[in-house]
Amino acid sequence: MLKLRIRNLTRDKLLATEAEVADTSKKRRTGLLKRESLPQGEGLWITPCEAIHTIGMKFPIDVLFLSRTKKVLKIKERMPPGRIAVCLWAHSVLELPAGTVAATGTAVGDQLEFEKVI
């Protein structure tokens, strides 16, 4: 499975060392629902995507809505289970462990960089 290293270029901070990619209908539907937790360094990039939910999840997550050029458009920090978040102008969504946004200072307008992990 393809893994990504994701860096916030604006802040020069690493957001994920091994983020998975949900780029098929089945992977997007499943997302993080079958997981018990999301350890630091991991994440899930859902593409294309403009809305997510945490219904049925067991843990909170940080959510970044991204443009086609991977610029941060909207942030939902520590989104608890049982919620829905939408950003109609987003191209994709990056789900990260809760607290990642605060720890890295990530903000709306920041530019992210995605690199394949070999």
Convert the pLDDT of each residue in 27-65 to its tens digit.
999 999 999 999 999 999 999 999 999 999 999 999 999
What value does the mean pLDDT of the chain take? 96
**CA-based radius of gyration for the chain:** 13
Query: Considering the entire predicted model, what is its pTM?
Result: 0.96
Question: Tell me, what's the pLDDT at 3?
Answer: 95
Average pLDDT over residues 65-92: 98
Average pLDDT over residues 55-84: 98
Is residue 52 a contact partner of residue 46, using CB atoms and an 8 Å limit? yes
Q: Which amino acid is at 59?
A: F
What homologous superfamily does CATH list for 3-116?
Protein of unknown function DUF192 (2.60.120.1140)
